Amino acid sequence: MMIILVTANNYLLMFVGWEGVGVCSYLLVSFWFTRIAANQSSISAFLTNRVGDCFLTIGMFAILWSLGKRKFSRVFSSLRIKNQKISPLSKYTLSIGQRCLHKTTNILGRQVSTSDFNLISRTQIRLSSNSYLAPYLAGLIEGDGHIAVHDKNTQKKEYRPKIIIAFNINDKPLAEKLSTELKVGKVIDRSSAGHVLLQILAKEEVLKIINIINGHMRTPKLEALHRAISWINERDNSSIPLLGIDSSPLESNSWLAGFTDADGCFGIAIYDRKKIGVFLRTSVQTSFRIEVKQNSSREVTLEQGGSSFFTIMSEIAAFFTVNLYTRTRKTEDKVFYAFAVVAHNSRSHEILRSYFQNYPLYSSKYLAYKDWCLVQDLHKGSLSKDNLERIKAIKNGFNTKRKVFDFSHLNFLQFK
């Protein structure tokens, strides 16, 4: 019962575990029923558990009434979206839940800190500009970008904040498009390393990007943006506001498109189904995946969203109505921990296609996405031999196997 209590992923299952632990506690204490002290202790334990049951039930119903969800991950991710609609009772209940989870929940063997469940953040004033580009660029930088700020505690030569965005070598046209249209930075070709860099160093150009993305960030990289703004405000006697985490719904802007262009991946799998060694049929599976490291390397305050990527990845998982996974990769002397969201069923695919219809991708992943959609369309209903051959041909030129890149879709990238 204790295992059910501490491993439950929703409030209902947690309640079952709680009740089970209460029953076991009562039976354990009252085992020596012939002893008066044991009898009195068992009654005391029973009454204490009933009081706990009462408040736990009230809390569960308050959360269900406010959010309509039972799963921890979906409740936590919903809080950032519905911050202004949650009753004080629910907020108080969830704050207690955070402290309980801090003591009882482990992720990959590491104790969870309160920053892993940074749920309720204060409302921030957003920039009036809410164009397509602003959230898209924020998502792109949060995925494959770096905001460098001089550390005053070092004796290295001081430098102004700079922004560097890395692109796959095949996405050089996108890097050049952003540089040309925004009139910022220069593209540095690192073909030998398989990538290009959009390096933004000039004072006015860095300020332009900061003003575009400020108020649209959703991950712990917000801390680097705040450091850059604080440095600029102090040195230039300016007053750029430190806007907080963007808590708007994911489907309301292009942030996820930019984040996908950085860290997303589309997959096509073709495999033979067999039963007891006998071939049954050939099946096709399409999937979409976003994977990021679990924690920022820097300390991030709760007001900035905390140092864990748990909250934003939970929000993405809830958006696609799928589970959030953890992954551990080991190298020779290091262990890497990551969160992963995998959209693998028809419902999540429907949501994904609807989103990218409204907020398209602009890297070479747009080409992968179009092929991915075509495979799904060819796979509808029974899979004919001709359609299977077309799918195999698509897979042979998919992702890293692609040889021809058509970036005509960049003509539709909006800069206003």
pLDDT at 87: 46
pLDDT at 111: 38
Residue 66 dihedral angles phi and psi, to the nearest 5° = -80, -40
pLDDT tens for 381-403 read 778 888 899 999 999 999 989 99
Top-confidence residue, 153 or 80: 153
Whole-number Å distance between alpha carbons of 64 and 90:
9
Top-confidence residue, 373 or 76: 373
Q: Give the burial class of 192: count Cβ atoms within 10 A of its Cβ; 0-12 exposed, 13-18 middle, 19 or more buried.
A: exposed
Left (φ > 0), alpha (ψ -120 to 50) or beta: where does 11 sit?
Answer: alpha
Cross-strand partners of 271: 283
Rg of the Cα trace of the chain? 25
How many angstroms separate the first and last alpha carbons of the chain?
A: 57
Beta carbons within 8 Å of 116's beta carbon, 6+ residues apart: 107, 306, 308, 310, 311
pLDDT at 174: 95
For the chain, give the percent of residues with pLDDT over 90: 50
- What is the average pLDDT across 170-179? 95
Whole-number Å distance between alpha carbons of 196 and 377:
34
For the chain, give the percent of residues with pLDDT over 70: 85
* Report for 52-61, 75-84, 119-128, 207-216: range of highest mean pLDDT: 207-216
- What is the average pLDDT across 223-234? 94
pLDDT at 313: 94
Whole-number Å distance between alpha carbons of 176 and 196:
10
- What is the average pLDDT across 112-126? 35
Whole-number Å distance between alpha carbons of 345 and 376:
11
Q: Residue 80 — pLDDT band, cuts 50, 70, 90?
A: very low
Q: Residue 74 — pLDDT band, cuts 50, 70, 90?
A: low
Amino acid identity of residue 337, one-letter, is Y
Hey, what are 415's tokens?
């800069």
Of 18-27, 48-57, 128-137, 196-205, least confident by mean pLDDT is 128-137
pLDDT at 119: 31
pLDDT at 373: 95
Hey, what are 385's tokens?
């031999």
Whole-number Å distance between alpha carbons of 85 and 79:
9
pLDDT at 157: 87
pLDDT tens for 305-359 read 889 999 999 999 999 999 999 988 888 788 889 999 999 999 999 999 999 999 9
Top-confidence residue, 184 or 73: 184
Decide if pLDDT at 215 tops 80: yes
- Other C-beta atoms within 10 Å of 414: how many? 11
Beta carbons within 8 Å of 202's beta carbon, 6+ residues apart: 184, 185
Residue 256 dihedral angles phi and psi, to the nearest 5° = -65, -30
Q: Residue 240 — pLDDT band, cuts 50, 70, 90?
A: very high
Q: Residue 24 — pLDDT band, cuts 50, 70, 90?
A: confident
Decide if pLDDT at 21 tops 60: yes
Top-confidence residue, 82 or 312: 312
Q: Residue 364 — pLDDT band, cuts 50, 70, 90?
A: very high
- What is the average pLDDT across 253-263? 95
Residue that is written with structure tokens 């071939």 in the block: 279
Whole-number Å distance between alpha carbons of 249 and 401:
35
Helix (H, G, I), strand (E, B) or coil at 414: coil
- What is the average pLDDT across 218-237? 94
